[in-house]
Amino acid sequence: MAENAIYIPQDSDFVPASEDHKKLTSSEAVTGSKNDMRKRFFAQKSAVAGMVILILLTFLALIGPYLTTHSYDDQQLERANLPPRAPVLSSWGIMDGSETINKTDGRVTVNRYEELGIMDEYYIFGTDNLGRDMFARAFMGLRVSLIIALAATVINLFIGMNFGVISGYFGGMTDIIMQRIIDIIGSIPTLVVVTLLMLVLQPGMGSIIIALMLSGWIEMSRIARAEVLKVKELEYIQAARTMGASHRHIIFREIMPNISGKLVTQIMLSIPSAVFLEAFLSFVGLGMPAGSCSLGTLLTDGFSNVLLHIYKLLPTAALMILLMIGCHLVAEGLKKASE
């Protein structure tokens, strides 16, 4: 070709990339991003500590109720309100089953294990007013609360993520209409919606999950929409469009993997919020039915006896505090890792 010849573009110069090439390119980019995020996350000691706490709590929620010979719902009225007693510590004078009780004639220290002749029995967290083992009930309550929180969070993620991604990606009138729907739903206080719903539905795990689901997805939707608005005009999205990628491919293969860090962070913050809301509903009598077991019902029972038997409140409160700390440490670690 001569030096001064004019280049004329040909159709063969603009052949769209094959689907295999697009998938490979997208996969390589996402894999590299995930590896970097994983390294930054595990480089933070606080985030690792939070993950260890959550793994330990989950493990105890699964096996905790079976670490004792007493069932969480086995009632023995003659053993009601027994203080904590541990196998090894009791021989050292710690958690030996003795309890100091305030009476009108002064403070008296008693040991009901000796009075009942059950010195070979151990209740590590004590018993409630129906003689049920608080150790088994605490971890069973943790299991129930985690199931409720995780189920509500997964549903909120599915609804909120899809709603927000569609709204932010297509924009225009679609975005305006969808955001007005969110404004209308979000203008109603969550506690009002949840309380009214719980008054209509029968108390139970399913009712609480539905109640938490009604408005819990809104914040997830707003975060997903904001992240989509940030990335949808970036170079790699424009390159995917130039190569002829469909909307479905761009949303699920290009956008979703790159906003997942923010959404996972929101998930870790949604779990303690759901646990707190379940505890509130149980505290006001709108949560789990009487006789059932969750962190909320255990906190309610412990609060009503806190002046007489503080040991009924402390284990459940400690589990909830650890759960909050673990979730927030992991969420903060994910936030820093995704920046």
Q: Is the pLDDT of residue 1 over 50?
A: no
Q: How many Å apart are CA 68 and CA 132, to the nearest integer?
A: 12
Express each pLDDT in 273-322 by its tens digit: 888 888 877 777 777 776 678 888 888 888 877 777 888 888 999 999 99
- Residue in the structure block whose two tokens are 């000691």: 45
Q: For the residues 6-13, what does the mean pLDDT come to?
A: 64
Confidence at 171, pLDDT banded by 50, 70, 90: confident
Contact yes or no for 338/265 (Cβ under 8 A): yes
Instruction: Fill in the amino acid letter for 46.
Output: S
Q: What's the mean per-residue pLDDT of the chain?
A: 82
According to the model, what pLDDT value does residue 136 have? 92
- Correct CATH for 20-73+131-338 of 1.10.3720.10, 1.10.150.530, 1.10.490.10, 3.40.30.10: 1.10.3720.10
Q: Is the pLDDT of residue 28 over 60?
A: no
Contact yes or no for 309/126 (Cβ under 8 A): yes
Q: How many Å apart are CA 75 and CA 56, to the nearest integer?
A: 28
Q: Is the pLDDT of residue 30 over 60?
A: no
Contact yes or no for 133/74 (Cβ under 8 A): yes
Q: How many Å apart are CA 91 and CA 87, to the nearest integer?
A: 8
Q: How many Å apart are CA 209 and CA 294, to the nearest integer?
A: 13
Q: Where in the chain is the domain with CATH 1.10.3720.10?
A: 20-73+131-338
Q: Is the pLDDT of residue 204 over 80?
A: no
- Residue in the structure block whose two tokens are 């109720």: 65
Q: Is the pLDDT of residue 21 over 60?
A: no
According to the model, what pLDDT value does residue 232 have? 85
According to the model, what pLDDT value does residue 32 have? 52
Element (H, E) at 67: none
Q: Identify the CA nearest to 313 among candidates 128, 76, 47, 92.
A: 128
- pTM of the full predicted structure? 0.80
Using only C-alpha atoms, what is the Rg of the chain? 28
Cα 244–chain centre separation: 39
